[in-house]
């Protein structure tokens, strides 16, 4: 089912909106500059902390706690053991694992909208918005009261949500693992329930919903092949009991965050048996990846910010639509240039602030390469002139 609505904005109204966009663009640019500067500092602090940690970490046996390593950065590996079993009380599910994770979907009405805008001679603008409604499974609750056309598309409240159920106590040898460490062991795998679980789950749920087991997952509703609004699908994942490796500060019988001189707090956890060097290498790679992702996002948002600042130019020129398109294309190119320049300049300044020696070396190398290229170009030009003569 689809509905269409047409809204119009005058040329003066669009100019007013674009001026508001300028203010938003300025705030966005300032925020992205701050983000880029912070990101470089975060990356440097993390890199230095990892380098510091890699140089002082001590690999210890999990079978015995040595008081001499108290407060030291230690590396422990071994099988994780626990006497606890995570359970989901809402469905009476209990498993032999470290973590039990519940995912919930509800069959419900979902609203989607799509807008197409047409610019008119004189600068006004018409927008056709198409609202489409369909029923489907979704983990997110869609409030039907907020739909543009809610009549006949009422969703019941989503009473069941995703859940996280870890064990309360676990250890590697003599070392006790905190809830933080347990949560960082992330080798998740699906949990498939058997049809024999349906009756027990039905007893826990009660008669408000009919329970089915479909493809190893729980279905709450009358007919899994003909879902109705308000039906649920529940699936589970577990983190199985197995080996794990932990790097952190030895604190009694526990392992906690280690405060480095560089400024970071180190606590590295991975499933399986991993050497300290591999764990630090993986952490360094993750740090570099996060740094580049934040750089890319910030530069992209800078481009958007500059485009918003120059937005009024295109709106003013839209009094003749084709002229507005030309101006908007040109301002878009300028926004890309300004965004990249601002981003790279901010990164350069941050590098000089946080890593002055490295920055000077990079600048020196850059000038050196430029000088060599210039000299080579002059030499080629001289040889070309001599050949002509």
Cβ neighbours of residue 186 under 8 Å, at least 6 residues apart? 239, 271
Query: Do β-strands 258-259 and 265-266 pair in parallel, antiparallel, or remain unpaired?
Result: antiparallel
Q: Among residues 270, 251, 266, which one has the least CA distance to residue 175?
A: 251
CA atoms within 13 A on the CB side of 232: 21
DSSP secondary structure string for all residues of 290-320: HHHHHHHHHHHHHHHHHHHHTHHHHHHHTTS
Q: Which helix (H) or strand (E) holds 208?
A: none
Domain ranges of the chain: 83-240, 355-389
The answer for residues whose C-beta is within 8 angstroms of residue 167's C-beta and 6 or more apart is 82, 84, 85, 86, 97, 98, 99, 182
Task: Write out the DSSP string of 249-304.
Answer: EEETTEEE-EE-TTS-EE-EEEES---HHHHHHHHHHHHHHHHHHHHHHHHHHHHH
pTM of the model: 0.81
In angstroms, the CA 227 to CA 135 distance is 9
**pLDDT of amino acid 209:** 85
Q: What is the spatial distance between Cα 372 and Cα 33, in angstroms, rounded to a whole number?
A: 34
Dihedral over Cα of 250, 252, 256, 258: its sign: negative
| Residue 92 CB coordination number (10 Å) | 14
- How far, in Å, CA of 389 to CA of 382, rounded? 11
At residue 346's C-alpha, the angle toward residues 343 and 349, to 5°, is 150
Q: What are phi and psi of 235, to 5 degrees?
A: -125, 160
Separate counts of helices (H) and strands (E) for the chain: 7, 19
Dihedral angle over CA of 71, 74, 79, 84, nearest 10: 30
Identify the three-state secondary structure at position 219.
Answer: strand
pLDDT tens track, the chain, 389 positions:
788 888 888 878 888 888 899 999 999 999 999 999 999 999 999 999 999 999 999 999 999 999 999 999 999 999 999 999 999 999 999 999 999 999 999 999 999 999 988 888 877 888 889 999 999 999 999 999 999 888 989 999 999 999 999 999 999 999 999 999 999 998 999 999 998 888 899 999 888 889 999 999 999 999 999 999 999 999 999 999 999 999 999 999 999 999 999 999 999 999 999 999 999 999 999 999 999 999 999 999 999 999 999 988 888 888 888 888 888 888 888 898 889 888 888 888 888 888 777 666 655 665 676 577 667 767 766 765 565 55
Which helix (H) or strand (E) covers residue 349, if one does? Answer: helix 321-354
Helix (H, G, I), strand (E, B) or coil at 156: coil
Residues found in the chain: 389
Q: Report d(CA 288, CA 115) in Å as an integer.
A: 38
Residue 367 has a pLDDT of: 62
């Amino acid at each position: 089912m689809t509905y269409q609505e047409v809204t119009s904005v005058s040329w003066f109204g669009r100019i007013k909106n674009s001026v508001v966009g300028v203010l938003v663009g300025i705030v966005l640019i300032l925020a992205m500059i701050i983000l880029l500067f912070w990101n470089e500092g975060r990356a440097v602090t993390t890199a230095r902390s990892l380098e510091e940690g890699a140089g002082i970490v001590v690999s210890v046996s999990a079978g015995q706690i040595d008081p001499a390593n108290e407060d030291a950065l230690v590396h422990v590996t071994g099988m994780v053991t626990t006497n606890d079993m995570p359970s989901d009380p809402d469905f009476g599910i209990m498993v032999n694992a470290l973590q039990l994770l519940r995912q919930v979907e509800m069959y419900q009405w979902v609203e989607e909208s799509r807008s197409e805008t047409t610019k008119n001679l004189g600068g006004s603008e018409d927008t056709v918005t198409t609202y489409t409604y369909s029923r489907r499974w979704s983990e997110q609750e869609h409030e039907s009261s907020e739909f543009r056309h809610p009549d006949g598309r009422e969703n019941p409240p989503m009473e069941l949500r995703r859940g996280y159920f870890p064990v309360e106590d676990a250890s590697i040898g003599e070392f006790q693992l905190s809830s933080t460490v347990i949560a960082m062991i992330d080798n998740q795998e699906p949990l498939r329930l058997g049809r024999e679980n349906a009756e027990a789950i039905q007893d826990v749920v009660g008669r408000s919903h009919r329970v089915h087991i479909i493809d190893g997952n729980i279905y709450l509703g009358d007919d899994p092949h003909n879902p109705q609004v308000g039906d649920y699908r529940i699936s589970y994942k577990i983190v199985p009991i197995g080996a794990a490796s932990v790097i952190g500060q030895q604190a009694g019988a526990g392992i906690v965050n280690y405060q480095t001189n560089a400024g970071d707090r180190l606590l590295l956890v991975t499933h399986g048996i991993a050497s300290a060097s591999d764990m630090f290498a993986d952490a360094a790679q993750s740090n570099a990846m996060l740094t580049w992702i934040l750089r890319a996002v910030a530069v992209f948002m800078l481009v958007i910010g500059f485009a918003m600042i120059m937005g009024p130019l295109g709106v003013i020129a839209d009094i003749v639509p084709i002229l507005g398109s030309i101006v908007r294309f040109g301002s878009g190119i300028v926004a890309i240039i300004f965004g990249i320049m601002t981003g790279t300049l901010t990164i350069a300044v941050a590098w000089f602030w946080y890593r002055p020696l490295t920055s000077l070396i990079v600048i020196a190398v850059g000038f050196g390469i430029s000088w060599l290229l210039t000299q080579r170009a002059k030499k080629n030009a001289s040889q070309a002139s001599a050949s002509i003569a």
